[in-house]
Amino acid sequence: MRPVRLGAVDYLNARPLVFGLELRHGFALQFDSPSKCAALLHEGSIDVGMIPSVEYVRGGPYCAVPDVAIVSEGPVASVALFSKKPLADVQSIAADTSSRTSTALLRVLCHEAMGIDPELVPMPPRPAEMLRRCDAALLIGDAALFLDHELLDVTKIDLGEHWVQLTGLPFVWAFWAGRPGALLENHVRVLLEARDAGVAAAETIASAYCGPARAERAQRYLKENIRYDWGTRELEGLKTFYELALKHGIVDDAGTPTFYRG
């Protein structure tokens, strides 16, 4: 059998999910941005991807790996709006083109919580350029986590925190998904084992990925801001996100995940 083509996200928060996988038989691993992982899965260039959660209802039909996801409940730190103006005065937002779920969530929050209807301008994640062109910038991943917003004299508005304030529920940012039959039970077991090993080695992963200067911040982020499992409340949060995205015309379907057998 050929190995499962696995598309992982090239951000710190996804590294615990692939810990040791490069040494395991049965997987061919590659790293890309979240939007690229989704595009590769949709076009069939990979078998399973760590896709932005909104992309699950934009392609497929897909199955999800049970109990493995990138989740936050409260401040997420790595998905944020950086604004030069008070939120009520924001008329244009440069949206990180690496993002899919975060842009969808921002649109939901603009309507449901922030009371604004700004123009969203897709741009590469270059904060200085984004903020020169627009009133605010949506950044995700390492760019958002490590940006010194005080140095840029902008306000950091955490989207994970706003979601919990709106709904009282966790937010599911991304999860493994692929076409039915792409994973066997032993594949699912290996992905669960990699998750468990990666969570246990979070400090080592953070130091190796970020280097000494950023290690402490990275370690705190993996311990305090991110979780890697999901259950009833997380599925409720995901369903609520899909329903609100459907309400505002962001997606055409508000389905719930079907899972591989594990």
CA 10 → CA 3, 143, 239, distances in Å?
20, 12, 26
pLDDT tens-place string over residues 91-101: 999 999 888 89
Helix (H, G, I), strand (E, B), or coil: what is residue 11?
A: coil
Distance CA 167, CA 245 (A): 14
| Positive or negative torsion for Cα 121, 126, 129, 132 | positive
In which region does residue 45 sit, left (phi positive, over 0), alpha (psi from -120 to 50) or beta (all else)?
Answer: alpha
Q: How far apart are the first and last CA of the chain?
A: 19
The two structure tokens encoding residue 157? 């508005």
| DSSP secondary structure letters along 106-163 | HHHHIIIII---PEEEEE-S-HHHHHHHSSEEEEEHHHHHH--HHHHT-EEEEHHHHH
> What's the CATH code, domain 79-167?
3.40.190.10
Please tell me the pTM assigned to this model. Answer: 0.94
Domain ranges of the chain: 4-71+171-247, 79-167
> What's the CATH code, domain 4-71+171-247?
3.40.190.10
Whether 77 contacts 175, CB under 8 Å: no
Whether 17 contacts 195, CB under 8 Å: yes
Q: What is the mean pLDDT of residues 117-140?
A: 95
Q: What's the chain's length in residues?
A: 262
pLDDT tens-place string over residues 150-205: 888 999 999 999 999 999 999 999 999 999 999 999 999 999 999 999 999 999 99
Same fold: 4-71+171-247 with 79-167: yes
Q: Which of 242, 244, 232, 183 is nearest to 55 (CA)?
A: 242
pLDDT tens-place string over residues 50-108: 999 999 999 889 999 999 999 999 999 999 999 999 999 999 999 998 888 999 999 99
Q: For position 194, what pLDDT does the model report?
A: 95
Confidence of residue 22 (pLDDT cuts 50, 70, 90): confident
